[in-house]
């Protein structure tokens, strides 16, 4: 209970905002330790969506009637909330997408295809999620580019010396994960991007795991593009964000074409809309954007600093408890870590761990976490991953530790 009193919010009060947390699973109280895969939703997000459909729903950017204007206003308010949250210069720099994956694909397609040439180089890291590898691989194949990977050590920390040796005038894009989803490592992205800028490279931040844990200031970080998904920051699925510097977005080609992203269409030619409209073809995910806006407001009300501090104390407590169990090995032991513990239990496959945990009411992720190269680095088939959010408690972690012990006793 020491932890709760150190921080500026009451976890038991916060938990009441999340209806799902009072559910039972397999006859046991739900202990949800899979927030790195997707976060649960507070009532304010659920209510924002219900409110939209109950009170002011219509298609946006189209109708001259009041209802359409009301939903358009709310949609654009959400864009403003995102702009403020990541400290972008203009709301025109915020593009709504389906998620981080689509945002990264959009950059590869609409920037990479038009501005990179044969022999140019892209740098990513060994710990990327597949979503920040495969779009660049496809682009490299098409345009005959070179894709380089910043290696890491066995703690899961990037080897920055190796990175600096890779940089040259050929480096056109440096795209880096802020917090590793499978290791929890917080990468020194400010340093990485400052170095990239010395060679004039475009910088891309995959903020999927950091947007909900830490304050992000795109201007301070020297970040040209940033991608994240709404469902990782307590918002709905199917909505995400691409941030891009205005001058870059303006010169880029559209990703998809169709309705709402045009100024004028004739049989001969089309004039595209200004950003961000140019990148939002077709009817958008209106409830997704409005739900995301509500989620950001919720996080702002708690205060991202408070969240970060509390989650870090959960990580410290859980790590110290896990280390007491000799049969368990933590994968990912970086100095700077977010609230993720990936681990393996001696002689027990993660899927057996996952099934036993589930019977005990504990939801964790098992597998490769869409980071197969990370698994290869550590020469393991998969891990079990527990990830903690601000709605988790010390009791949750105690149940988690007891579940590990139960697994060990079954397989003993």
Q: Which stretch binds another protein (CB under 8 A): 52-60, 82-90, 249-257, 403-411?
A: 403-411
DSSP state of 329: E
Which run of H or of E encompasses 344? strand 340-345
The yes or no reply on residue 359 touching another protein (CB under 8 A) is yes
Return the number of the residue (299 or 348) whose C-beta is nearest another protein. Answer: 348
Residue corresponding to tokens 């206003």: 73
Nearer Cβ to another protein (20/410): 410
Q: Is 384 near another protein (CB under 8 A)?
A: no
Residue 133 CB, nearest approach to another protein (Å)? 17
**405 near another protein (CB under 8 A):** no
Q: Which of 381, 395, 402, 405 binds another protein (CB under 8 A)?
A: 381
Q: How far is the CB of 375 from another protein (least distance, A)?
A: 8
Catalytic residue among 30, 166, 360, 370: 370
Smallest separation, CB 383 to another protein (Å): 11
**H helix or E strand, kind and range, residue 227:** strand 225-229
- By the rule CB under 8 A, 351 interacts with another protein: yes
Q: Tokens 């654009």 map to which residue?
A: 76
Q: Is 361 in the site for another protein (CB under 8 A)?
A: no
Of 27 and 200, CB closest to another protein: 27
- CA dist 359 and 106 (Å) reads 41
Measuring CA to CA, how many Å separate 409 from each of 257, 290, 330? Answer: 57, 47, 19
Give me the least distance between CB of 372 and another protein, in Å please. 9
Nearer to another protein, 175 or 384 (CB): 384
- The pair of structure tokens assigned to 284 is 């958008």
Stretch that binds another protein, among 76-84, 272-280, 311-319, 363-371 (CB under 8 A): 363-371
DSSP letter string, 138-207 = HHHHHHT-EEEEE-B-TTS-B-HHHHHHH--TTEEEEEEESB-TTT-BB--HHHHHHHHHHTT-EEEEE-
366 lies in the site for another protein, by CB under 8 A: yes
Using CB under 8 A as the binding rule, the residues of this chain from 22 to 81 that contact another protein are: 26
The residue among 4 and 406 lying less far from another protein, judged by its C-beta, is 406
- Residue 212 interacting with another protein (CB under 8 A): no
What is residue 264's three-state secondary structure? strand
Site for another protein contains 235 (CB under 8 A): no
The residue among 295 and 348 lying less far from another protein, judged by its C-beta, is: 348
* Smallest distance from another protein to CB 363, Å: 12
Of the two residues 90 and 402, which places its CB atom closer to another protein in the complex?
402
Q: Map residue 363 onto helix, strand or coil.
A: strand
Comparison of 82 and 382: residue with beta carbon closer to another protein: 382
Give dist(CA 90, CA 267) in Å, integer.
34
Contact 91, 332 (CB under 8 A): no
Q: Could you say which residues in the range 311-350 bind another protein, by CB under 8 A? A: 348-350
Task: Write down the least CB distance from residue 351 to another protein, Å.
Answer: 4
Cβ–Cβ < 8 Å for 385, 366: yes
Only one of the segments 38-46, 56-64, 325-333, 374-382 lies at the binding site for another protein (rule: CB under 8 A); that segment is 374-382
Distance (Å, whole) CA 382 – CA 378: 10
Question: What are the helix (H) ranges across 208-303?
Answer: 246-251, 286-302
The DSSP bridge pattern shows strands 202-206 and 171-177 to be parallel
370 catalytic residue (yes or no): yes
The number of residues that bind another protein (CB under 8 A) is 18
Cα(294)–Cα(237) distance, integer angstroms: 13
CB of 359 to another protein, least distance (A): 5
Tell the residue number behind the tokens 């100024």, with chain if given.
263
Cα 384 to Cα 14, 21, 75, 313, 333, distances in angstroms: 27, 21, 38, 21, 15
Assess 382 for contact with another protein (CB under 8 A): yes
| Start-to-end C-alpha separation, the chain | 33
* 373 interacts with another protein by CB under 8 A: no
What is the binding site for another protein (CB under 8 A)? 26, 348-352, 355-356, 359, 366-368, 375, 381-382, 406, 410-411
Catalytic residue numbers? 370
């Amino acid at each position: 209970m020491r932890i709760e009193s150190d921080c500026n919010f009451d976890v038991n009060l916060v938990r009441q905002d999340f209806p799902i947390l009072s559910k039972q699973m397999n006859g046991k109280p739900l202990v949800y330790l899979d927030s790195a895969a997707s976060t649960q939703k507070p009532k304010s997000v659920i209510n924002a969506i219900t409110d939209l459909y109950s009170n002011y729903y219509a298609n946006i950017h189209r109708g001259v009637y009041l209802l359409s204007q009301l939903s358009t206003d709310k949609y654009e308010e959400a864009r403003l909330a995102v702009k403020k949250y990541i400290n972008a210069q203009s709301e025109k720099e915020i593009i709504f997408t389906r998620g981080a994956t689509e945002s990264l694909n959009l950059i590869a397609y609409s920037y990479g295809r038009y501005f990179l040439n044969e022999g140019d180089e892209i740098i990513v890291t060994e710990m990327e999620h597949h979503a920040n590898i495969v779009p660049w691989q496809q682009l490299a194949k098409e345009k005959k580019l070179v894709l380089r990977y910043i290696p890491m050590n066995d703690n899961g920390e990037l080897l920055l010396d190796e990175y600096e040796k890779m940089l040259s005038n050929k480096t056109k894009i440096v795209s880096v994960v802020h917090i590793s989803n499978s290791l929890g490592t917080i990468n020194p992205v400010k340093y990485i991007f400052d170095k990239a800028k010395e060679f004039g490279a475009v910088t891309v931040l995959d903020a999927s795991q950091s947007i909900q844990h830490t304050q992000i200031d795109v201007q301070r970080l020297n970040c040209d593009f940033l991608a994240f998904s709404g469902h990782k920051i307590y918002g709905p699925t199917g909505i995400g964000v691409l941030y891009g510097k205005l001058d870059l977005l303006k010169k880029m080609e559209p990703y998809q074409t169709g309705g709402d992203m045009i100024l004028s269409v004739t049989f001969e030619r089309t004039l595209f809309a200004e950003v961000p409209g140019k990148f939002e073809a077709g009817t958008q995910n209106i409830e997704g954007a409005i739900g995301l806006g509500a989620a950001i407001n919720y996080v702002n009300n708690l205060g991202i600093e408070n969240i970060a501090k509390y989650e870090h104390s959960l990580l410290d407590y859980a790590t110290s408890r896990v280390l007491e169990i000799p049969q368990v090995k933590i994968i990912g032991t970086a100095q700077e870590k977010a609230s993720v513990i990936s681990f393996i239990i001696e002689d027990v496959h993660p899927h057996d761990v996952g099934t036993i945990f589930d019977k005990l009411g504990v939801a964790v992720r098992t597998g490769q976490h869409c980071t197969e190269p990370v698994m290869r680095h550590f020469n393991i088939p998969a891990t079990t991953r527990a990830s903690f959010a601000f709605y988790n408690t010390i009791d949750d972690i105690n149940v988690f530790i007891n579940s590990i012990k139960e697994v060990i006793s079954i397989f003993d």
